[in-house]
Amino acid sequence: MTLTIHVQYFAILREQRGLSRETLSTTAATAVELYTELQAKHGFSLPADRLRVAINDEFTAWNAPLRDGAAVVFIPPVAGG
C-alpha cells in the first residue's frame, strides 16, 4: 500500500536533506522502514538507533504502523541547554 507522508526535518537532517519539509509517497509500513528508505536516498549520517521519531507531534515507537497522511519527524540526539 502506498501512503502519503509529511516529513519535517530539523538540524543536521534538515541540512543533509537540504530542505525543511516534504510530502512523499512511500510503501514503508513503519517509521523505521521510512527512515531506512530516506537514509539510503539522501545519505543521512545518523543511524536510526541514534534517532527517535515523532508522529503527529508525539514521540512514537519506531515500529508503530504508519498511517496515510501522518506527519513524521526524525529526531537527532538533542542538545538543549
Partner 1 sequence: MFRLAETPIDPAALLHSLGEARAGACVTFAGWVRNHNDGRPVEQLDYEAYPALAVKEGERIVAEARAKFPVLGIVAVHRTGSLAIGDLAVWVGVTAEHRDGAYAASRYLIDELKARVPIWKKEHYAGAQPVWINCATRGEHAQAAPPR
Q: Which residues form the interface with partner 1 (CB under 8 A)?
A: 8, 10-12, 14-16, 18, 45-47, 50, 54, 57-59, 73, 75-81
| Nearest-approach distance from CB 27 to partner 1, in angstroms | 26
| Nearest-approach distance from CB 5 to partner 1, in angstroms | 17
CB 47 within 8 A of CB 73: no
Of residues 1 and 18, the one with the C-beta less far from partner 1:
18
Of residues 24 and 54, the one with the C-beta less far from partner 1:
54
DSSP conformation letters of the chain: --EEEEEE--HHHHHHHTSSEEEEEE--SBHHHHHHHHHHHH--SS-GGG-EEEETTEEE-TTSBP-TT-EEEEEPPP---
| Nearest-approach distance from CB 24 to partner 1, in angstroms | 19
